A = this chain, B = another copy of it.
Amino acid sequence: MAAPTPTSPLAPTRFPDLPPIDGVRFAAGAAGVRYQGRTDVMLALFDRPAQVAGVFTRSKCPSAPVDWCRAALAAGRARALVVNSGNANAFTGSAGVTTTAAVAKETAQAIGAAPGEVFQASTGVIGEPMDPGPIVRALPALLAAARPDGLMDAARAIMTTDTFPKVAAARVKLGDVEVTINGIAKGAGMIAPDMATMLSFVFTDAPIAAPALQALLRKSVDRSFNAITVDSDTSTSDTLLIFATGAAAARGAPEIDDDADPRLAGFRRALDKVLLDLAQQVARDGEGARKFIEVRVAGAATRRAAKRIAMAIANSPLVKTAVGGEDANWGRVVMAVGKAGEKAERDKLDIFFGDLRVAHAGKRDPDYSEAEASAYMKKKKIVIGVNVGVGTATAKVWTCDLTKDYVAINGDYRS
C-alpha cells in the first residue's frame, strides 16, 4: 500500500449523523488480512432476516464474493454481511470460492443462519490467495461487539486508498412513519461507469420486499454510482447492497412489495439522495484528486447519448489533466464530444465552464475572456456544461481531476 495520503481537499467538512436502525448492528475489527495497525473487517448483523437487493460489477472476471452474492440474492434474505479490505479475493480460482464458502459457513453457524444468508464483499489486491483464517478468527469478537451505532467504524474498516470514510443518511416518511436510510461506501481508484462502485452498503428499517428494493436500486444507480468515474477502470469487485430490516413496520410503517407503490415516492427520492451523496464522495476521494468535476450534457439526441458524451468528457485524460492544471482548455472538451461517437452538431455546440459560455455555435464565444475562465478554474468544484445542439436529452456525471498523485499512488500500490 502507498504511504498514507493526506485527506482529500474535497472531503466533506463534517460527517452526517447516522441514527441507529432497528434490527441491525455493526462491528469492525483488525483481522490482519493484509494491513497491520488498522481495522480491516466489518460485520453487519441482522436480528431477523432482512430483505436484500444488490447490483454488481459487469466485469467478465468478477471476484469470488461477487459470485457468492449473486447466487445468494436469489433468496433475497440476509442475516449478516462480512466485508474485508486488503485482499479482493479476485482471480483466486477455486481457492477463492473455498474461502468465501468458509467465511459464510462459520458466520452462519455462529448466528444460527443458513450460509446463503451471509453476504460478503472483499476489496484490495487482486490475484493474491486469501486465507479465510484471519476473518474466521476475528468473528467471535465481532459478534460480541456488534452494536447499533457501529456504522462509522464499519465505514473505516473497508477503506483502501480512500482518504476519508464515506457515509450518508436520510430520514423520510413512509406512510405516516419516519424511516431511516443509512449508507456507507468505499472506493478511490479502479472506479468507472456501468457498475456499482467498489463497495457500498445501505441499510434501512423500511419494510420493503426484496423485489421492490431491487427495482428501486436499479433505477437509482443509473444516476448515482453509474454516473461517476475516477479512471475508467471497472473493478472486479464492485458491489452495492441494500438491506431492509423492516423494523419500522412495528411502528406502523406500511409493508411495501411493489416498487410502483405511490407511497414509495418520498423513500425513492431519499434513497436517490443517499446513493448520489455516496457516489459523489467516491469521486471526491478519487486517487490524487484536487478538483471535483461535474459534467452536464444537454441537447443530446437520447439520454443514452447524453450520458456517453458526458462520460467521454469525464474519462478524458486530457480534460482531467487540464482541470488539474487549472487550464480552461475547452478545446479538449470539443475533442471529447467528438470522440464519444454520438450525434453532435459541431456548428451548434455550446460549452460552459460554470456560468461562463466559452464556446458558442461551433467556435470560441465572442465574449470569451481568458482571465475570467482562468479565475473560474481555480475553484475546487468545476462544472463543465455542453449543449450538443441536436435534441433535448440531458445527463450529469461526476469525476475528479487527474494529477501526478494519481500516478504516484498507482505506481507503487502493491509495494
B residues less than 8 Å from A96 (CB atoms): 363
B residues less than 8 Å from A321 (CB atoms): 406-407, 410-411
Using a CB-CB cutoff of 8 Å, which residues 120-176 of chain A contact chain B? 125-129
In contact, A406 and B317 (Cβ under 8 angstroms): yes
B residues less than 8 Å from A362 (CB atoms): 91, 93
Q: A385-414 CB contact bits vs B (8 Å, 1 = yes)?
A: 000000000000000001110111011111
B residues less than 8 Å from A339 (CB atoms): 58-60, 192, 233-234
Q: Judge if A359 is at the interface, Cβ distance under 8 Å.
A: yes
Q: How far is it, in angstroms, between the C-alpha of A190 and the C-alpha of B317 when the chains are bound?
A: 9
Could you say which of A17-25, A42-50, A271-279, A325-333 contacts chain B?
A325-333
Q: A319-354 CB contact bits vs B (8 Å, 1 = yes)?
A: 001101101011110111111111110110100000
In contact, A233 and B316 (Cβ under 8 angstroms): yes
Q: Judge if A415 is at the interface, Cβ distance under 8 Å.
A: yes
In contact, B335 and A233 (Cβ under 8 angstroms): yes
In contact, B61 and A334 (Cβ under 8 angstroms): yes
In contact, A190 and B334 (Cβ under 8 angstroms): no
Q: Judge if A92 is at the interface, Cβ distance under 8 Å.
A: yes
How many Å from the CB of A401 to the closest CB on chain B? 9
Residue in B61, B331, B412 whose beta carbon sits within 8 Å of that of A337 in the complex: B61
Residue in B60, B325, B327 whose beta carbon sits within 8 Å of that of A346 in the complex: B60
In contact, B233 and A336 (Cβ under 8 angstroms): yes
Q: How far is it, in angstroms, between the C-alpha of A189 and the C-alpha of B59 when the chains are bound?
A: 28
Q: Judge if A318 is at the interface, Cβ distance under 8 Å.
A: yes
How many Å from the CB of A99 to the closest CB on chain B? 12
The A interface is mostly helix, strand or loop, or mixed, namely: loop
In contact, A58 and B129 (Cβ under 8 angstroms): no
In contact, A232 and B235 (Cβ under 8 angstroms): no
In contact, B315 and A232 (Cβ under 8 angstroms): yes
Counted per complex, copies of this chain come to 2
Residue in B58, B62, B129, B330 whose beta carbon sits within 8 Å of that of A127 in the complex: B330
Contacts A190-B318, A407-B407 given: A235-B335 contact, CB under 8 Å?
yes
How many Å from the CB of A133 to the closest CB on chain B? 18
In contact, B318 and A410 (Cβ under 8 angstroms): yes
- Which residue of chain B lies nearest to A329 when distances are taken between CB atoms in the complex? B414
B residues less than 8 Å from A60 (CB atoms): 337-344, 346
B residues less than 8 Å from A315 (CB atoms): 232
B residues less than 8 Å from A103 (CB atoms): none
Residue in B127, B232, B413 whose beta carbon sits within 8 Å of that of A363 in the complex: B127
Q: Judge if A285 is at the interface, Cβ distance under 8 Å.
A: no
Q: A7-29 CB contact bits vs B (8 Å, 1 = yes)?
A: 00000000000000000000000
Q: A232-257 CB contact bits vs B (8 Å, 1 = yes)?
A: 11111000000000000000000000
How many Å from the CB of A351 to the closest CB on chain B? 9
If A61-B337, A322-B411, A325-B411 are given as contacts, then 16 extra A-B residue pairs at C-beta distance below 8 Å, sorted by A number, are: A59-B338, A59-B339, A91-B331, A92-B363, A93-B363, A127-B364, A129-B364, A189-B318, A190-B335, A233-B336, A234-B339, A321-B410, A322-B410, A322-B413, A329-B413, A329-B414
Give chain A's interface residues, CB within 8 Å of chain B.
57-62, 88, 90-93, 95-96, 125-129, 189-190, 192, 231-236, 315-318, 321-322, 324-325, 327, 329-332, 334-344, 346-347, 349, 359, 361-364, 402-404, 406-408, 410-415
Closest 9 CB pairs of A and B: A325-B411, A126-B331, A61-B338, A59-B338, A93-B363, A234-B339, A321-B410, A127-B331, A404-B404
Enumerate 16 A-B pairs (CB-CB under 8 Å) in ascending A order. A57-B338, A59-B339, A60-B337, A60-B340, A61-B346, A88-B331, A91-B359, A127-B331, A232-B317, A234-B339, A236-B338, A317-B410, A322-B414, A325-B410, A327-B414, A327-B415
